[in-house]
Amino acid sequence: MKKKQIKPPLALRMVGWLFPKLEKVAPFLAKRWFVRVFFTPVRYKMPYGEVDAMKEASIHQLEFENKKVQYYKWGTGKPILFSHGWMGRGTQFRKFIPVFNQAGYQVISYDATGHGKSEGKKSHLMEFVGIIEKLHELEGPFEMIVGHSLGGVASMHAIHRGLPTDKLVMISSPTIADKIVGEFLLRLNASDVCKDYFEAYIMKKYGKPFSHYSASYIVQSLRPVDLLLIHDEDDPEVGIENPEAILSLYPSATLVKTQGLGHTRILKDEKVIEACLNYLKKEASSVEAINHSIG
């Protein structure tokens, strides 16, 4: 039976239709809305497979900035942390769970603020980072961190800020600041005026430019770690130039390219999962062997 595809939430589809109309009649309101939407994740419906994975988990909560954050543990052994991306959930790594458990590792993941079963309506990169640091205090140290999309960037930030993990896998992670903002502009059908307003907002609120939060910026001062980059050449959301930018700045990293998996289906691919486990075990030849095409 053909699996039913999950459509993006109606709210997300409506924003792209409405935004350019608002920008024409009320540009100042549009610019403020741009910033608001940027920091407001939309919660997707959880697929049945993830519901089953949640039922099998040991469910816990931690307190972060006065919000309850839900996190999950599967199995026993040395802990591996999995960090989801923007508008994702910890249970998206469900295909990794039995593989890592059978290899003797405990799988830990979480729902960031404003995501999944955690509290909050807004979130941002550094909240992901703070939660990762909190989980390290409660459940670490982690043998390895696997981050998907924004979760990979947050994981790099956490290591850069002192987390003692020496192995990091970044899957489908956006790393170039201009590309991140540009992609968001396209989604909202917004003009470059909104980009200028956004950049000024970030500088005023956080004291440094948005680009300084990008992986391409912080990797330049990242301590030596084993860094594996996995990226699909057909990812419609995050182009292959993103991991290539990291590789050019951090040449000790390993870049593995896949084809035909897109941005999220890559998390269900058996060879990708195997490559992450092999990288943990440092079986480099097996890692490199996953370059493949699924048409």
CATH code assigned at 144: 3.40.50.1820
Does the pLDDT of residue 283 top 90, yes or no?
no
Strands of the sheet containing 254-258, edge to edge, are: 58-64, 67-74, 105-110, 78-83, 144-148, 167-171, 226-232, 254-258
Does the pLDDT of residue 85 top 70, yes or no?
yes
Is 123 domain-assigned?
A: yes
Q: How many CA atoms lie within 13 A of 116 on its CB side?
A: 27
Does the pLDDT of residue 9 top 80, yes or no?
no
d(CA 22, CA 29): 8
Does the pLDDT of residue 286 top 60, yes or no?
no
Is 201 domain-assigned?
A: no
Domain of residue 126, residue span: 39-176+214-288
Is 12 domain-assigned?
A: no
Mean pLDDT for the stretch of residues 183-193: 87
Q: In one letter, which amino acid is 198?
A: F
Structure confidence at residue 12 (pLDDT): 64
Is 31 domain-assigned?
A: no
Distances (CA, A) of 227 to 6, 55, 224, 230, 281: 32, 32, 9, 10, 13
Is 192 domain-assigned?
A: no
Residues whose CB is less than 8 angstroms from the CB of residue 272 and which lie 6 or more positions away in sequence, other chains included: 171, 230, 258, 261, 266, 290
Q: Is 139 helix (H, G, I), strand (E, B) or coil?
A: helix
Distances (CA, A) of 239 to 116, 230, 231: 26, 12, 9
Does the pLDDT of residue 57 top 60, yes or no?
yes
Handedness of CA 38, 39, 44, 49 (dihedral sign): positive
d(CA 262, CA 269): 11
Vertex 248, ends 247 and 252: CA angle to 5°? 50
Mean pLDDT for the stretch of residues 173-188: 91
Is 16 domain-assigned?
A: no
Q: How many CA atoms lie within 13 A of 246 on its CB side?
A: 31
Does the pLDDT of residue 270 top 80, yes or no?
yes
Tokens representing 172 are 């489908």
Mean pLDDT for the stretch of residues 176-200: 90
Mean pLDDT for the stretch of residues 210-225: 97
pTM: 0.91
Structure confidence at residue 181 (pLDDT): 92
Is 162 domain-assigned?
A: yes
Lowest mean pLDDT among 7-21, 27-41, 69-83, 124-138: 7-21
For the chain, give the percent of residues with pLDDT over 90: 77
Structure confidence at residue 5 (pLDDT): 46
Q: In one letter, which amino acid is 20?
A: P
DSSP string, 54-67: HHTSEEEEEEETTE
Does the pLDDT of residue 33 top 60, yes or no?
yes
d(CA 84, CA 290): 22
Structure confidence at residue 11 (pLDDT): 63
Task: Quote the number of domains for the chain.
Answer: 1
- pLDDT: which is higher, 136 or 288: 136
46-55 residue pLDDT tens = 999 999 999 9
Does the pLDDT of residue 3 top 90, yes or no?
no
Q: Is 166 helix (H, G, I), strand (E, B) or coil?
A: coil
Structure confidence at residue 173 (pLDDT): 97
Is 5 domain-assigned?
A: no
